[in-house]
Amino acid sequence: MAGQTIPLWEVFIRSRNGLSHKHVGSLHAPDATLALQSARDLYTRRGEGLSIWVVPSNAITASDPSEKGMMFEPTASKIYRHPTFYEVPDEVGHM
């Protein structure tokens, strides 16, 4: 058993303000039950949340940082996706 490593988990917490679960950090735990308990002790000592998700880190598929340009730059030129691109005459008022 020595030499066996304890798996890594990512922790997500939904705070009381109604926003979605947010990544807060990670921890090591042998299984999901202990991961949840450790997450409670480690990341919610001051009422930080009302719900916890723990996800095995190796279950996450991440985008490749070297493909950042290909992935995200095309949106920069699509300014017509933003409301400010369109003109509404002053007489029409707030829209």
Which residues would be at the binding site for another protein (CB under 8 A)? 1-2, 4-6, 8, 24-28, 30-31, 34, 41-42, 45-46, 62, 64-66
Helix H or strand E segment including 37: helix 32-43
- Cβ 48 to another protein shortest distance, Å: 10
Least CB distance from residue 41 to another protein, whole Å? 8
Q: In angstroms, what CA-CA distances link 94 with 30, 34, 83? A: 56, 52, 12
Q: Which residue's CB is nearer to another protein, number 7 or number 14?
A: 7
| 25, β-bridge pairs | 11
* Coil, helix or strand at residue 2: coil
Q: How far is the CB of 91 from another protein (least distance, A)?
A: 43
